Amino acid sequence: MEIQSIKNRFGIIGNSPLLNHAISIAERVSPTNLTVLITGESGVGKEVFSHIIHQLGTRKHNPFIAVNCGAIPEGTIDSELFGHEKGSFTGAHDSRKGYFETVAGGTIFLDEVGELPLGTQARLLRVWETGEYIRVGSSKVMKTDVRVIAATNVNLQQAVSNGKFREDLYYRLSTVPIYIPPLRERGEDIYLLFRKFCIDFAERMKMASVKLTDEARLLILKYPWPGNVRQLKNVAEQVSILSVDKEISAQELVQIVPDITQNRLPVLAKDMFNESTTGMTERDILYKLIFDLKKDLNDLKQFVFDVARNQHNGGSNVSPITLSDADGYRDNSRNTLEQYPSSPTFIQPMSSVQSGMPKHDESSHLIINEPQSYTTHETIDESLSLADKEKELIVKALKKHRNRRRDAATDLGISERTLYRKIKEYDLEK
């Protein structure tokens, strides 16, 4: 079946390459019985993909049930999934079938699977590996044949590292992973979805549909949409009902939805390399790295120039400058040279100071040669293109880690998927 036909059948709007790739994987895996793990942020539409896999598969005529694992209390989730016997716990007045029994032969969609308790995770692993389970309060082993589709908006690998998710269950779940891109990575789809939601709402309410001016349209395209498609739909309905005019200007849009003007520039995050960090996109992190690198290079050039100029002007020898001293000098050298009134003869490495080596052992020093002339300050033109800097960082990371892309992606603070896309974009595969 063509991707466009699948979109029309399941009401999917958008032409993003990442979205089309996810739909293509769902179509190819649907005829099999493989376990599928759907990952993506909250609100991207993970449940829609579970329906695609079920409806295009061989189990489409059998039952389908969606279970939100995060909404079921820990004390009752085993009973919900596997059932229980009468009197097995307080309030169990009758025997009850669990989801794995009622959906036998069909498909069960476990949403927010990362919220499952560890004990339940162990029992689920047994179901998927052997097809066997035991009701709560029973000793009878029961069999089931259920296809499992799981979804999560958390980083399960991080949860495994933190001891909150079983490693063996993670590998059993992620037989076929499907990544659903967030709305901010589908910029070309934002306005299409907004128009669709406005038209659908207008038809339900029997009213005229609203339109956006060019300025208002630019606002919704720049907004990061942390709530993804769910948030965009809410905003579209809110604007449709609260707008005075049917053609909404940027000013009116800001009055109705003040958060629409949220700044997308890089911000200082508490731990920007933690994948669970919110508020900064991968591109924002790269921009921040580029700006910080440029600032450090400028500070280093200024420091070296001032040291060389001091030495050229002549003066009495001063004590060696360690790297720690250089850090302090960098912070103050732009306004004054009084901290180091004369030029240094040599720079003593930090390692020699810490190891107790003699301060004036010339073999352990880095000698600075006498400069020929520093009468003028030479300005070096350098590229300010963000794309060039981004490409340069990626090349350096790949060289540093000897083309191990996973390590390079971790060092850059981006996902491995994004790194692969950037390598292809900048033609770095050679």
User: Which element (helix H / strand E) includes 366?
Assistant: strand 366-367
Examine the pLDDT at 106 and tell me if it is beyond 70. Answer: yes
Amino acid identity of residue 371, one-letter, is P
Q: Are 371 and 308 in contact (CB under 8 A)?
A: yes
Q: Name the residue with higher pLDDT: 29 or 337.
A: 29
Cα–Cα distance for residue pair 83/89, rounded to 1 Å = 12
Q: What's the pLDDT at 237?
A: 93
Region of 227 on the Ramachandran plot (φ > 0 left; ψ -120 to 50 alpha; else beta): alpha
Question: Side-chain half-sphere of 393: how many Cα atoms within 13 Å?
Answer: 25
Which of 132, 133, 123, 113 shows the shortest CA–CA distance to 174? 113
Q: Are 232 and 223 in contact (CB under 8 A)?
A: no
Residue 1 pLDDT grade (very low, low, confident, very high; cuts 50, 70, 90): low
Residue positions counted in the chain: 430
Find where tokens 């052992």 sit: 361
Question: What is the torsion angle, in degrees rounded to the nearest 10, for the CA atoms of residue 325, residue 328, residue 332 and residue 334?
Answer: 70
Domains and their CATH numbers in the chain: 3-181 (3.40.50.300), 184-261 (1.10.8.60), 383-425 (1.10.10)
Mean pLDDT for the stretch of residues 355-381: 46
In 2-138, DSSP assigns E strands to: 36-39, 64-68, 83-84, 96-97, 107-111, 132-134
Cα–Cα distance for residue pair 59/31, rounded to 1 Å = 9
- Helix/strand/coil for 386: helix
Amino acid identity of residue 182, one-letter, is P
Query: What pTM did the predictor assign?
Result: 0.59
Mean pLDDT for the stretch of residues 84-100: 86
Question: Side-chain half-sphere of 9: how many Cα atoms within 13 Å?
Answer: 14
Q: What's the pLDDT at 273?
A: 44
Examine the pLDDT at 7 and tell me if it is beyond 80. Answer: yes
Could you report the per-residue pLDDT of 375-395, keeping only the tens digit for each?
A: 444 555 556 677 788 888 888
